[in-house]
Amino acid sequence: MEVALIFITQLIYQNSPIPITSKILISFLLMAFTSILFFQCYNRIRKHSNLQPPLPPGPKPWPLVGYLPAMLSSNNFSTHQWIHSIMKQFNTEIASIHLKNKCIIPVISPELALEFLQAYDSVFGSRSSISDDVDMLTRGSVSTILSPTGPQWRKMKRILTSEILNPSTIHRMLGQRTSEADTLLCYIFNQTCKNGGGAVINVRSITQHYCGNILRRMLFNRRYYGKRREDGGPTFEEEEHNQALLTVVRCVNAFSISDFIPCLKPFDLDGHSKILKNALNVLRKYDEPIIEKRVQQWRNDKKIKGAEDILDILISLKDDNGNFLLSIEEIKILIIDIQLATVDNPSNAVEWAMAELLDQPKVLEKAVEELDKVVGRERLVQESDILKLKYLTACVRESFRLHPFSPFNVAHVSNYDIVIAGYFIPKGSEVLLSRSGLGRNPRIWEDPMKFDPERHLKDGTVELGISEPTLRFITFTRGRRGCPGSSLGTSITMMLFARLLQGFSWTLLPKFTKIDLPQPNELSLSKPLHLHAKPRLSHDMYQGFIDQQT
């Protein structure tokens, strides 16, 4: 500090007419004053730090940049692997990692996770300050997923919870979801008919297509953005839209260098902003013309049939004065929020469950036996059957536990300093609940890397459905930032899984004797899962639904 001060003093006085003795005296006084001030501040900080509890364990940060250079140089690890390696190095279930101006608090303890999301929910109910990427997503509006808390956020969350994802609305749209389950069955059956009674099916594609179809039916009362396919399969438009949604989800959960060094934002060194912008442009290209046309119909009183879908509900809401409650921009961001919250988890969980079941034929056999016993082969499984399908539920729970789509939840930001479990958590800290760390915690789970649905039957947690209120793994989070659509998410996931297992016999492709599962520290299948499907129900059952589609 003294060297810097001398340098500054020289710059100030090098061309000054002040005598040299006066210059030296001024420099000396400045250095003395600064030194005294520095040591006073240092002593206060040291005294205060001796009184307050320690931060969670973690590496010692470097001046100014924290531990950011170490993260950027970890070429052999993804960011989530690097964070977990630090927690393993310090043998801790909660850590503190300083990345320049941010303090990251990763957590893999379910007990501590409950502290953050339940006991101290009001403290950790916010998000990071609005970033350029979030502003790009919301265009100045407020996202229920990403925006900090405030009056506008509470308004949007209240609408989502009370008007859209309430039991009445979800039940009213049961027919649309069932229709999409029937369409999925017809599509796969059509593929088998074209190939002599069996077909190679891209499981990732059909699960994502199913989730996208349900979203479009519930949001816009339509399956296709353009011309429909006769066999019920996806067109280019639907596939492009689904991939854009998944890209946005990945960007939201990703670490970007500009999040920690804001001055680098204009350069977009990791391409994060460009990727997000392109994906959002795709979503808006398909969704916004539908939204704008429908809003115009309601504003001009041309919508006479009443609310047929979620978009109608959002547009028709009015305040106490009889004015429309939501602006068109608010409607657009709520539509995106609903899609982002629904598209990833069901399709990922079912693809992984199918991969694990094909890797363990006895588990697959038990799941199919339960379906035949509870539902039979004379009718198709329905949402009303889900509560009785305990083994299938256990399989889905295990898939969520072992194979989360994202390694972390979106960060929960502390609103002020607080002490939790004896650790000091500074204001502004970003708490990351590790989905993979919680679900694979060896203290909680015996043989955590083994896919074992029986564990959920033995401990009785299967009675909870696919939710896990104690946060030993995460399907739907809790607290004010919790997922309000857990019932809908359960229905989508379970119906997709049950229809696939009931409707078809699944086998590995020729020349394959084992599923190529990734390494334990990886979260995703490196390639889409391809399996051979063969109808296992009466052809008349499939044909009946095909006739309804035409």
* Known binding-site positions for heme: 483
CA–CA dist 42, 121 (Å, integer): 33
User: Which H or E element spans position 424?
Assistant: strand 423-425
What lies within 8 Å, CB to CB, of 51 at 6+ separation is none
- Of 357, 448, 338, 434, residue with least CA distance to 402: 448
Q: Which residues does the annotation place in the binding site?
A: 483
Instruction: For 195-227, give the DSSP string.
Output: TTT-EEEEHHHHHHHHHHHHHHHHHHS-S-SSS
Is 168 exposed, middle or buried (CB count within 10 Å of its CB: 0-12, 13-18, 19+)?
exposed
CA–CA dist 352, 372 (Å, integer): 22
- CA atoms 63, 66, 67, 72: torsion sign: negative
User: Which H or E element spans position 549?
Assistant: helix 539-549
- Of 429, 416, 415, residue with least CA distance to 58: 429
CA–CA dist 372, 77 (Å, integer): 44
User: Which H or E element spans position 180?
Assistant: helix 174-194
CA–CA dist 503, 536 (Å, integer): 6
Phi/psi region, residue 155 (left: phi>0; alpha: psi -120 to 50; beta: rest), is alpha
Helix then strand then coil, in percent of the chain rounded to 5, is: 55, 10, 35
